Amino acid sequence: MSTIHGFQSPAGASSLGPTIASLLEVGDSDVHEIDFSDVMVAQDVIGFLGNMTKELLHRYLPNPQLIDSSFSDLIGTIDRKAFWIGKTESLILTLDIIGNRHFFQIPRELWETKARRWN
């Protein structure tokens, strides 16, 4: 499986596009926000994101043993934001847990856009 990279937003970052561009060292014009509902990710990505969400919840919550959510519930915490990076064709998904924003860079071979029909 290709590597999924994760990174945390710097403190005080307010705008996602420029923040992502800075973290990935690409130009602002290379970061394109796309509708999360237009994207499909591989099953491996869903499992990875579920595990990372649970790990991050354990990191930020004082009593992690109280977490009894399923992965599908945890995946629901992912923001409905996605960014396509033109230079690498990777996808960035964002996750906010207790005010701490994390980004996950999904390689191109692990995601695709959904086919849409025009009526």
State residue 85's pLDDT score: 96
d(CA 90, CA 28): 15
State residue 66's pLDDT score: 63
State residue 115's pLDDT score: 78
Q: How many residues does the chain have?
A: 119
Look at strands 100-106 and 111-113 and give their pairing. Answer: unpaired
Alpha carbon separation from 97 to 37, 54, 56, 63, 117 (Å, rounded): 21, 10, 7, 15, 35
100: left (phi over 0), alpha (psi -120 to 50) or beta: beta
CA angle at 43 for the pair 84 and 110, rounded to the nearest 5°: 35
State residue 1's pLDDT score: 45
pLDDT along the chain (119 residues), means of 10: 61 74 91 90 89 80 64 60 92 82 91 79
* pTM of this structure: 0.75
d(CA 65, CA 48): 20
State residue 43's pLDDT score: 92
State residue 72's pLDDT score: 56
State residue 23's pLDDT score: 86
